[in-house]
Amino acid sequence: MSSIKRLVKWVAKTEPDLMDQTYRLMRDIMVERATAFQAKHQAQIIRVRNLVERYVDNPFLKMPYVSYGQRIAKIAEKYQGTAAINAAVGELLLWKHRGLDEIILISIARLFNLDLAMHVPTLVERIAEGAVTASEEETVILDYDGPLAMVSGWIDLSPMREGDEVTIRLYVKLRRGEEYRLYASDQFKGRQEEPAIYLTPKLSAYGYKVTIQQTSGTPKTFNYFFAKGV
């Protein structure tokens, strides 16, 4: 097509009456798509923000975690399988080097069904991983006892439904050779929307023990993962 023909075609397309008619015909579709996109985008931000608010105290670090979550959400939508994992790991490493906590980054990725824990072996030293059904108080970190370290991770409570109640307890050793003492106890009731909702507090201790007990509802099996920063 010659430049003259292209110009004539462009002039025809930009004729005011024609553009006004086209806009009026397309406006409802444009508004519907934009509304759906914004609702989805906002829901993603809220999911990430809810997790970040639980575990990040520094207000200057909260927005970077949300930004990382938005990037991970786009990767989860655009890619699948190995390609999605590789892209997400690359994004995680980028934000890790910017000073964000790798366990929280892994947990945010799990919000979008991307399990990166097995694909970043240089970031953390795994100390507990598996699944547990706990009608009695069951230990998921089996008496980790070593040099002063920070341990964090999650117990996946997404199988919970209405009528279920679960208690998670954290015991620590603050001095060498002492007995474990209860540091925190959290109770969860009903459906849990986030797939990874529990991180141990970021404190340094000589020993950690995390237990879980389901006190109400049909017994469920919960996956868990805990690691020590390296």
Q: Which among 165, 150, 172 has a CA at the least distance from the CA of 228?
A: 150
**Is 123-229 CATH 1.20.120?**
no
Which pLDDT score, from 0 to 100, does residue 66 have? 93
Percent of the chain scoring above 70 in pLDDT: 73
Q: Which residues pair with 169 in a beta bridge?
A: 185, 211
Q: Which fold has domain 1-122?
A: Methane Monooxygenase Hydroxylase; Chain G, domain 1 (1.20.58)
pLDDT band at 124 (very low <50, low <70, confident <90, very high): low
Report domain extents, the chain. 1-122, 123-229
Please compute the mean of the pLDDT values over residues 150-155 and round it to a whole number.
78
pTM value is: 0.61
3-state DSSP helix/strand/coil % of the chain, to nearest 5: 45, 30, 30
Q: What is the pLDDT of residues 201-229, one digit of tens each?
A: 666 777 788 899 999 999 999 988 887 76
Distance CA 80, CA 83 (A): 6
Q: Is the CB of residue 172 less than 8 Å from the CB of residue 207?
A: yes
